[in-house]
Structure 1
Amino acid sequence: MGRDRCRSRPTAVLRGPEIVGEKLKSPQWVRFTVASPALRRTVGVDVLLPKDNSEPRPSIYALEGVDARETSSDWAVGGGARDFFADKNVNVVMINGGVSSIYSDWENIDPGVGLHKWETFIVDELPPLLDARLKTNGAKSLLGLSMGAQGAMMLAHRHPGMYKGIAAMSGCYSTTDDVGRMCIQQTISSRGGNPANIWGEIGGQGWADHDTVRHAEALRGMDIYVSSMTGIPGRYETPESDLFNRVVIGGPIEAVSRLSTLRLESTLKELDIPATFEYHATGVHAWNYWKDELPDTWPTLARSLDLPA
């Protein structure tokens, strides 16, 4: 995960969401600067474009992990998205920033991690701007890993009908069971935040409202892909890699994700909601594995957006 924890501080209240900057980084990569009243600042949004922009096309909103950088998206920098989506007829929207936010609207401004109103930004403020600027067809799906997988699932269940599909890798999907609470508390406290500031009293109604496992019925009708590894060291854990962080930290995180993924699968089966679940025999919580798996998410995402796989 990215280690750039730069965080913009809230500024004066803005009049309305708007695109205030645009930079073409390559023929298929544009970076927008978006003024967000909810976040009280500007946000960088990288968008990968298809080769042919002559016809309206759908969008994939890609969310990332706990150290989501404000300067760029790890999906574009090291996650393989630029190469993989280069020949796909879809916009890939990569939102910058949101360290430890779980892409949610926090109840309180946190002294450690600041103002988080990402759900409002992603759901209400950003889509109308991009739909108009990029001439999309309005169809949207979600892609997320780690914290972004949990955030994407929350957005999906809290806004049924808004997204056509979702691909989630290595996430935790409950906020109320012991595993889920531990995941959230660690995600927030590890970056200097207070978990009580996200949805109020820990374990209270605000937490229950964000529990995808409890609200799994809201996912019905979506195309769903979910995956996890085991936390057992795999092909990328070599003497040349950062073995301590990858094995001692990334291993247990991925093992916990697997437990949560299994619980979500069980719940969806009980509800008879179709979904694709993939479990890998080895692998820790690291970008190498997510980059390798990105092509595996495409059949589900393509089907959700009526695109060829």
Structure 2
Amino acid sequence: MQQQQKESGIHMRFGKAGWRNRILTLGTAALVAPIAVGVAPTALAAPAPIAAPVLRAPAGGYEELMVPSKMGPIKVQVQWAKNGGNAALYLLDGLRARDDKNAWSFETNAQQQFGNDNVTLVMPVGGQSSWYTDWAQASNTNGQKTTYKWETFLTEELPNFLAGYGVSKTNNAVLGLSMSGPAALRLAALHRNQFKHASSLSGPLNWGAPGMREAIRVMMLDAGRFNVDSMAAPWSPAWLRMDPMVFAPELRGLPMFISSASGLPGGHDKPAGLGGAYNTANAMGIEVISMVSTRAFQGRLNSLGIQAVYDFPATGTHSWKYWEDELWKARPHILKALNA
């Protein structure tokens, strides 16, 4: 399912004056190949290299960046803060993340929701079935050639790159849904200097529950034929490091928004035909699993005396329009934590 991204209020802006266009063009070119410029009225001067990026896009603009990483260049969709502020919200994609666009940019109105706010939206593209972690090895069930290193990208390579555009490396929030719900909490828990707020929407947050690892195995095989054992060996330190129940103590003092619906169909569920009915039933079942594990995680945090903001809607299935609604509910908490 794919929808055209709304164009209203979201557009490319590279400055109103010619001098700014020329500067940004040079800065962008420096990302692709080394270049040098010199000024010599009468004779050639020694070339001076241009370090890039050195400038940021005009406040409120939209841009698509290609960011170097150990996995190769990663596309990142960015909506810059309305008034040029340094805060950022990382919006992570779901299990079936595509290679051309982050689903937050076309399945929801996320960009419109934050269009007048002083926070930059950072939407990494790709990472299907990755759980946004560093894998032990490339998947051996689908011929994957490059080993996923998403945690390294999101906590080192990407923030270092964005810093050149005026985005703070320490004033960020992260939000994920489904697959990326536990990833958002993990990234914030283990990288507290980077993230000031974390949100999980319909995330499976109890990895130690009976059958959960095999359920994750089936999901990953279905979404790209990825092998969960290539990500982390069963019950290894790397696997336990990803389990929200295990890293929960590291969340103490971190503002959080955590939600999951009941799985009962609501206003956004309008199935058409047998295919639509099947998809809705599937979304109901997945959301029930998410809700049960999220409730268990709530109990874990309560036992530790760790506070969070929770939302458990009476209706809602595992689908994008409900996550759009939850993003709107999380928005004021995110802006408060970032002082944006």
| TM-score of the aligned structures, taking structure 2 as reference length | 0.78
Alpha-carbon separation, structure 2, partners of 1:183 and 1:163 = 29
Corresponding letter in the other structure for 2:259: S
* Alignment-derived partner of residue 154 in structure 1: 186
SS of residue paired to 1:116: coil
1:75 aligns with 2:104: yes
* Alignment-derived partner of residue 90 in structure 2: 61
Alpha-carbon separation, structure 1, partners of 2:256 and 2:329 = 12
1:230 aligns with 2:262: yes
SS of residue paired to 1:214: helix
Distance 1:290 1:245, change over 3 A: farther
| Larger proportion of strand | 1
Q: How does 1:144-223 map to 2 (within 5 A)?
A: 144-178=176-210, 180-191=212-223, 192-200=225-233, 202-223=234-255
Distance 1:29 1:255, change over 3 A: same
Alpha-carbon separation, structure 2, partners of 1:293 and 1:225 = 9
Tell whether the 8 Å contact from 1:223 to 1:303 is kept in structure 2 after alignment: no
1:277 aligns with 2:306: no
Alpha-carbon separation, structure 1, partners of 2:243 and 2:255 = 19
Alpha-carbon separation, structure 2, partners of 1:138 and 1:206 = 25
Tell whether the 8 Å contact from 2:206 to 2:294 is kept in structure 1 after alignment: no
Distance 1:179 1:298, change over 3 A: farther
Which digits, 9 at most, give the CA deviation of each residue in 1:183-214, with x for residues without a partner? 422331212011111112x2333211211112
Which digits, 9 at most, give the CA deviation of each residue in 1:109-164, with x for residues without a partner? 11327221101111111101102223437301111111111211121223233310
* Alignment-derived partner of residue 95 in structure 1: 124
1:251 aligns with 2:284: yes
SS of residue paired to 1:298: helix
1:42 aligns with 2:73: yes
* Alignment-derived partner of residue 286 in structure 1: 319
Larger radius of gyration: 2
- Aligned identity (percent) is 29
Structure 2 unpaired stretches of 5+: 4-29, 34-52
Structure 1 residues 87-96 or 190-199, which shifts more? Answer: 190-199
| TM-score of the aligned structures, taking structure 1 as reference length | 0.86
Distance 1:159 1:239, change over 3 A: closer
Structure 1 unpaired stretches of 5+: 4-17
SS of residue paired to 2:163: helix
Aligned length: 288
